[in-house]
C-alpha cells in the first residue's frame, strides 16, 4: 500500500489600519469673546498667534470651524478641557468632536 501525505499551506493577511481621526469643532455664539477663543486655541490646542486668529475668524464668519484633528481620545480630552475652561470663565462656547472626513 502507498501512503499519501497532503500538506496545505495557509496564509493569512491582516490589514492594519491607522486609528481614525476626529475633528474638534468650535461653534460660534454671540456671547463668547473672540479674545477668549484665541486664548483657548493657544492654551489648549497649541496654536500660534496667526493660526489662532485665522481659526477664530473662521468660526466667527462661518458659524463653526475645525480647530484640530486628533485620535478620538485626544480630541475628546481637548474638547473637555476647552469646555471646562469656557464654563469656568462663564462662556457658553460649544465644542463638538466628530469623525474627520479627511
Q: Does residue 84 belong to any structural domain of this protein?
A: yes
pLDDT at 4 over 80: no
User: Can you tell me the distance from the alpha carbon of 73 to that of 93, in angstroms, rounded to the nearest whole number?
Assistant: 20
How does DSSP classify residue 96?
E
| 67: CB partners within 8 A, 6+ apart | 24, 25, 26, 41, 45, 47, 55
Per-residue model confidence (pLDDT) at position 61: 96
Please state whether the predicted TM-score (pTM) of the whole model is above 0.85.
no
Q: Does residue 54 belong to any structural domain of this protein?
A: yes
**What residue has cell string 481621526?**
21
Find the CATH number of the domain harbouring 45: 3.30.1390.10
User: Can you tell me the distance from the alpha carbon of 68 to that of 51, in angstroms, rounded to the nearest whole number?
Assistant: 11
Q: Does residue 6 belong to any structural domain of this protein?
A: no
Q: Which residue range forms the structural domain that includes residue 83?
A: 21-99
Q: Does residue 10 belong to any structural domain of this protein?
A: no
Q: Does residue 12 belong to any structural domain of this protein?
A: no
Pairing of strands 94-99, 64-71: unpaired
Q: What is the pLDDT of residues 28-57, one digit of tens each?
A: 999 999 999 999 999 999 999 999 999 999
Q: Does residue 14 belong to any structural domain of this protein?
A: no
| Number of domain units in the chain | 1
Amino acid at each position: 500500500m502507498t501512503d499519501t501525505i497532503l500538506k496545505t499551506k495557509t496564509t493569512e493577511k491582516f490589514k492594519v489600519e491607522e486609528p481614525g481621526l476626529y475633528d474638534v469643532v468650535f461653534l460660534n455664539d454671540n456671547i463668547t469673546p473672540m479674545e477668549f477663543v484665541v486664548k483657548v486655541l493657544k492654551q489648549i490646542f497649541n496654536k500660534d498667534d496667526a493660526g489662532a486668529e485665522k481659526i477664530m475668524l473662521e468660526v466667527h464668519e462661518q458659524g463653526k470651524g475645525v480647530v484640530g484633528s486628533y485620535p478620538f481620545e485626544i480630541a475628546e480630552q481637548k474638547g473637555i478641557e476647552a469646555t471646562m475652561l469656557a464654563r469656568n470663565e462663564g462662556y457658553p462656547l460649544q465644542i463638538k468632536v466628530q469623525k474627520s472626513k479627511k
